[in-house]
A and B are shown apart, each in its own frame.
Chain A
Amino acid sequence: MPATQQLFDVVIIGSGAGGAPIAHTLVNAGQSVLVMDKGPFFRPQNDDPMGVSDYKRDELISDGPEKRLIVPGLANTGASFYTSHIEPDLNDEPHIYRNGSSGDYATIEGYTCQCVGGGTQHYGGVSLRFSPLDFRLKSFNDGRSDLQRDVTDDVKREMRDWPISYDDLEPYYTKAEQLVGINGSRENQLKRASADHYHQPLPPNPISEYARVGMMALGMKPYRTPQAVITEDHPSSGRVVGQLRDQTWPGGPKAAYVNRYGDALEYKSNTWVALLRPISRKPNFTLWPNCNVTYLESEGPRVTRVHYRDESGRQQVVSGRVIVVACSAIESVRLLMLSAEQSPDFSARINQNEFLGAYFLTHCFGGASAVMPGRYDKSLSVDSDWATDACGTEEYIRSMGLWAGATIYNNTSDQALPIALARTHGASDLDTLWHTFDNDTGMVGDRYRDFLNFQFNRRLSVSFMANQLPQRSNHIELHSHVRDKWGRRVAYIVKGWHPHDQYLMDTIARRCRDVLAFGGDGGTGNYPVEGFGGVYTSENSLARIANHILGGARFGTDERDSVLDPRCRAWHFDNLFVSDGCFMPTSGSGNPTLTIQANAFRVGDALLASGLF
């Protein structure tokens, strides 16, 4: 690209769930849009000039070889880690966490991905809407005295309603479901939909029947998990499917290789194939991958220049009338903080209150896992088949003394491939991959055979996703001394679980266990379930079951209490918007990607109406 400064209507930093919908909206409205991404542009087969994808069905490539953490002074310095080409090398750019008294850890958690499409390349594709209740948890909890383990009334004090309602966002959920390309079923969901754009799901993997039977036995009405995987031709993105209804046809989206990794065949609806490629030939759209934005420069309330390193590492600048930051929550907050370091005026504006970086959120998650009676070919699966909102009803929430609810769904593709089986065997987090298998030195010969016989393609897990309580103490800041390969301070995340979070996780995990206990033996509830619990029970709670990073720049109606206004514009800036998951004041009772996409579509419309162009 040219090394000279250029001016666009909009510069969007980040091409994932928070950035791509805005690009799609504004390009189609005729605005000139530049999308920048720090990461590489890995392509599906159809987009590669040679016709081979950068995404390989190869566990060694998708998981990555062993590396060792060299960043000094951390609790896990010297530890092994495994990252692939879709994530940054931790020694180049770690996220560093402090978790209680365990010390500081570097981990891959917090990186949803670092490539064009962001986390939508890597995720399993579960695309749940948040429930209407998720948008008004403060109002819902006002006056309650039955909340378990909230001895200091943190729930009521830290709670915030969203400045928009479910009904405000609903049209954008519908739009996102249509344009992204999602299969699932509507019946039994708590979330009202004005239109149903779901593709018809493919037949579930047989192992998932245990989950469905268990849910039914418990009165939990199941539905087919909405997933960003197309099962029909998808006109808006130009994608066509093969002979999917012929179960003998050796093709289609069911391949366990892609359920935590990119898809060479475009069935998985990442933001590149769904939203950006359809606009990529328009003259007013520009994509710059491999470009690392280092900081934003402003003059008064206007961000005037975006400073970045180009593919060669040379310092460059580009400008836009509007700047959208959508790098995923931790990196967006980090970019804003790094920009504040460069300019006292920028700092005064973005730090006009104390909330930039504050109220970092993930999800309360966990579940249960069991070896089921039968063996099934889980390598032919999508990420999940059945879900239920039974733990998201107001009735259930109140009955259990919870502040918010959860969605439960089964994970079909876990440990469906042989390397995944061994590396995740007994692992509760990223720091314990391979540990159990490697340490079981007695597992040789006959015992190794028995391990494979007992475990391979027999394990089923049922997981939950629930709101994490916002806490001021959970926050993102810049690390005091660890720097990335460009010399910039890396992100430092302080994160802990409130006692109510732990109670919530224990409660919902027991329901997940019940699903397997009832599903495994046809409904009597006595099937043995060997493990269940919330993520907080793992040694350092850095499980990568779900890389959901949210909060840190919440939106709201009061500039004294939020970083962004209801349109996700940074207070005290005219042209700076932030649209990834950091806008959320609460994390929702489901996977966040669809909500981020829907909100980004909403922000796109707000930009068109803003008069900024």
Chain B
Amino acid sequence: MTLRVDRDSTYVLNYCTRALARDNTDSRHNYGQFAGDDPRARIAEGWRFPIVDSYYDGVSLENSQRFNSVTFAYANREGVPGDAIAVIGTFDELCTPIPLRRVDDSIFWAVTLVIPKGQFHRYRFLLGSRSVLDPVNPQRMTLTDGTLWSRFFTDYCTDILCFERWEVSLLERLTNHILPFRTTEGQRFLNIYYNNLDRQSKVTQYARAYRLDQPVGVVNFIDKILAREESHRLIDYKICLELVDRVLRLRDPYEDPERMAAQLYAELYDQMASGGFLAGWDYSRYSNPRFFLQLLRRHTHTGAFSHPKHGGNAGAAGWAYLANNLVDPQTGRLPDQVTASTFFDWSRGLEPPLGRNAEYRG
């Protein structure tokens, strides 16, 4: 049985009012992530639902950090009897509905569950005997039997949700070309960094990244942000990766793009960046390859240096690179490992066990 916890009405209403309390009927929040007259297009930031947040059991930060609190909310505008609203999902037995409770005298019903990090789940709401998709959450998944479910994932999830294997491979090659870590000293730093992570850090911070074929986890970050916060940009990636694959195969018909030389990627990148004509690119499907590179650059940087819970910066390696691999401009020397001085003491400000802050819980 999944643990249920109380999040008070203020917490739930903070999200529900902002996103769901409204009169507008226009699709003012559709930037291309919804089709036709999808009612979710009326709602601001529907991707915040269910609300995936930090969890603290009040006793142990270390134990608590293995979990998220996940709050499911439903706006009961239809007047469904209050005791008939529930959620089912793969976080618990699918045959066991978990009832939602009314939030004060509002129109919202909610329940908060404690769910392990590093997972994704499918779920549906039950309204009496009816099973419905979450009417707010943009994330959905189709099972092999054709049934449609709502979906969410918790922090540090490394399951790839948006891409096929060949797309992941292309993204790895493209992002590796951008990142500063492919330099000789960058690669050396990362190898040393991951090998020297203490055992506990490897268990808690890097364990979930073991499936990543590339260090730092930038591709995993991109997969997650496209699955949730920026789903309107997924179409850019889907089209452009297909076009990139096609162009590469035209240039080397004998090798799989996954195994092509780095030089081919470098040349392709430069040509896309130049804005000039790119032979093999279908401009009727995507008119500006340079725009895709700009999008990719923002995601790559964010993936390398954002909080690891978003899927990138695996083991905080990106931050460690900034802390330990940038020289003192006045001496030309790297930070002194003996004195442990650093130009970016990232762990000091952050929650344990990722960081060592004495007050902040995340």
Interfacial residues, chain A to chain B (CB-CB below 8 A):
1, 3, 39-43, 45, 48-54, 56-61, 65-68, 70-71, 85, 88-89, 91-92, 242, 249-252, 255-257, 264-265, 289-290, 309-314, 373-377, 379-380, 418-419, 422, 434, 437-439, 441-446, 448-449, 452-453, 456-458, 485-487
Contacts and interface: CB of A to CB of B under 8 A. Distances in A.
The 7 lowest CB-CB distance pairs between A and B, nearest first, are A40-B14, A313-B21, A441-B273, A65-B229, A418-B305, A449-B180, A438-B294
Contact of A251 (B8, B17, B357): B357
Q: Which of the listed residues A257, A310, A314 has the most CB atoms from chain B within 10 Å of its own CB?
A: A310
Q: Which of the listed residues B58, B302, B347, B350 has the most CB atoms from chain A within 10 Å of its own CB?
A: B302
Interface stretch (B103-111, B132-140, B241-249, B277-285): B103-111
A444 B53 CA distance: 34
Nearest to A434: B298
Contact of A57 (B69, B318, B342, B360): B360
B348 interface: yes
B206 interface: no
Given A242-B359, A251-B359, A452 B326 contact: yes
Contacts of B28: 70-71, 91-92, 485
B313 to A, nearest CB: 9
Contact of A42 (B14, B27, B104, B358): B14
B119 interface: no
10 contacts: A1-B105, A42-B14, A60-B307, A61-B307, A252-B359, A313-B17, A374-B329, A375-B326, A419-B305, A485-B22
Interface string B172-186: 000001111011001
Nearest to B225: A65
Contacts of B104: 1, 311
Nearest to A60: B306
B306 A441 contact: no
Given A265-B359, A446-B183, A376 B29 contact: no
Given A52-B361, A377-B343, A91 B55 contact: no
Given A71-B28, A92-B28, A290-B13, 15 more contacts: A50-B5, A52-B361, A66-B229, A66-B233, A289-B13, A311-B16, A312-B17, A374-B328, A376-B343, A379-B346, A422-B301, A422-B302, A438-B295, A449-B186, A485-B24
A448 B18 CA distance: 39
A264 B56 CA distance: 14
Given A91-B28, A375-B326, A448 B45 contact: no
B232 A68 contact: yes
B101 interface: no
A409 to B, nearest CB: 23
Interface in B274-321: 290, 293-295, 297-298, 301-302, 304-307, 309-310, 318-319
Given A312-B106, A419-B302, A446-B183, A453 B326 contact: yes
B349 A59 contact: no
Interface string B4-28: 0111101101111110111110011
B334 to A, nearest CB: 11
Nearest to B179: A448
A89 B44 CA distance: 7
B178 A91 contact: no
A415 B281 CA distance: 37
A375 B329 contact: yes
B69 A50 contact: yes
Contacts of A42: 14
A56 B307 CA distance: 10
Contacts of A58: 306-307, 309
B330 A66 contact: no
Grouping DSSP codes into helix (H, G, I), strand (E, B) and loop, the A interface class, with mixed when no group exceeds half, is loop
B23 A486 contact: yes
B178 A377 contact: no
Contacts of B16: 311
B306 A452 contact: no
A377 B324 CA distance: 12
Contacts of B11: 48-49, 54
Q: Which of the listed residues B6, B8, B21, B347 has the most CB atoms from chain A within 10 Å of its own CB?
A: B21
B23 A485 contact: yes
Contact of B45 (A89, A251, A445): A89
Contacts of A48: 11
A456 B326 contact: yes
A70 B307 contact: no
B92 interface: no
Given A45-B360, A485-B22, A437 B298 contact: yes
A11 to B, nearest CB: 19
A441 B310 contact: no
Give the size category of B's interface with A: 35 or more
A154 B355 CA distance: 56
A257 B56 CA distance: 21
Contact of A419 (B14, B232, B294, B306): B306
Q: Which of the listed residues B10, B20, B108, B290 has the most CB atoms from chain A within 10 Å of its own CB?
A: B10
Given A67-B31, A289-B14, A312-B107, A375 B302 contact: no
B54 interface: yes
Contacts of B343: 375-377, 456-457
A309 B177 CA distance: 51
A490 to B, nearest CB: 12
A452 B5 contact: no
A252 B177 CA distance: 39
A487 B24 contact: yes
B214 interface: no
Contact of A438 (B21, B177, B179, B297): B297
A448 B180 contact: yes
Contact of B293 (A51, A290, A441, A449): A441
A157 B229 CA distance: 51
A453 B230 CA distance: 30
Contact of B18 (A40, A60, A312, A452): A40
B14 A70 contact: no
Given A70-B30, A311-B17, A442-B273, A50 B23 contact: no
B307 A59 contact: yes
B240 to A, nearest CB: 14
Contact of A249 (B7, B328, B358): B358
A419 to B, nearest CB: 6
Nearest to A58: B307
Contacts of A438: 294-295, 297-298
Given A250-B357, A445-B177, A452-B322, A54 B55 contact: no
A311 B21 contact: yes
Contact of B17 (A57, A290, A443, A449): A290
B269 interface: yes
Contacts of B319: 418
B362 A290 contact: no
Nearest to A52: B54
B56 A309 contact: no
Contacts of A310: 106
B356 interface: yes
A448 B177 CA distance: 10
A70 B24 CA distance: 14
Contacts of A252: 359
Contacts of A375: 326-329, 343
Q: Which of the listed residues A41, A58, A66 has the most CB atoms from chain B within 10 Å of its own CB?
A: A66
B210 interface: no
B166 interface: no
A274 B40 CA distance: 39
